[in-house]
Chains A and B, each alone.
Chain A
């Protein structure tokens, strides 16, 4: 056991006590390592559900009729997503018109929104389409300024 008077003499001679400093530094190191979060931050995409078929279908018409009638297409837009055979995971359709790629959704929707911002847009993915593509179409329609975007539910 060290003599206290000897310790005092050593300190007086200019020796620095490193042990408490190292203790605290280690504790701070552990603290910052333990509290650092390495997970990606999750965000929320608010969505709507549409269980209502297009107006023309409600009145007894077929979905094909709706898609062929240009008058109705400013009232409601259906972005259909079907599985693609090659290349990209999905093929997008804007009121039954096939689109080259997903980015074309944004162009179509923004030109439509310029005329009428509150036009309801229904994203109707096929059951075998991955959610990544469904969310992508939804996100692009929202990003193009559409106020009402819904997922189609049977």
Chain B
């Protein structure tokens, strides 16, 4: 009769790493993709104007930034909230009061949006005393005609 303990001693002990690595990779990909998608979610796609002398968005960003989106139908969104131009000065002033430092207003508007829609936003910024205003633009490529 064979001794089972002798058999165990002879077999080399090894852990199968492949399933663990598979699962680890899947988890890494899941978290990377989900964080990537959540970033895209608050990033409304607009046909922004082109400019050659713009700065890197991260370099130009202040510590506290609020984004005003102007949609194709001329409606306004302050962050994720739909707002009217009449309420914008009050809301901007409120946001500026909440943060501990100067507030930067980032305006994202389509290139074909009329200045008559954007001028009241600039006026609202001036009323709310948030004078740090930046426009979101795409970098002007050499192939783009002016």
B1 to chain A, nearest CB (A): 21
Which residues of A lie under 8 Å from residue B132 when comparing CB positions? 46
The answer to whether A93 has its CB under 8 Å from any CB of chain B is no
Cβ-defined contact, B115 with A42, below 8 A: no
Which residues of B lie under 8 Å from residue A34 when comparing CB positions? 29, 32-33, 36
With known contacts A44-B54, A139-B51, A20–B18 Cβ distance under 8 A: yes
Cβ-defined contact, B26 with A27, below 8 A: yes
Which residues of A lie under 8 Å from residue B126 when comparing CB positions? 49, 51, 153
Most chain-A CB neighbours within 10 Å: which of B113, B122, B132? B122
Cβ-defined contact, A47 with B138, below 8 A: no
Cβ-defined contact, B49 with A43, below 8 A: no
Where chain A touches its partner, the secondary structure class is mixed
A142 to B119, CA, bound (A): 20
With known contacts A34-B32, A139-B52, A143-B52, A45–B134 Cβ distance under 8 A: yes
A42 to B126, CA, bound (A): 24
The answer to whether B56 has its CB under 8 Å from any CB of chain A is yes
The answer to whether B101 has its CB under 8 Å from any CB of chain A is no
The answer to whether A1 has its CB under 8 Å from any CB of chain B is no
The answer to whether A134 has its CB under 8 Å from any CB of chain B is yes
* Count, A-B residue pairs, CB within 8 A: 145
Give A114-141 interface residues, CB cut-off 8 Å to B: 125-132, 134-136, 138-139
The answer to whether B55 has its CB under 8 Å from any CB of chain A is yes
Most chain-A CB neighbours within 10 Å: which of B32, B43, B49, B133? B49
A131 to B112, CA, bound (A): 6
Q: Which residue of B lies closest to A89 (CB)?
A: B112
The answer to whether A40 has its CB under 8 Å from any CB of chain B is yes
Most chain-A CB neighbours within 10 Å: which of B22, B108, B146? B146
Cβ-defined contact, A154 with B123, below 8 A: yes
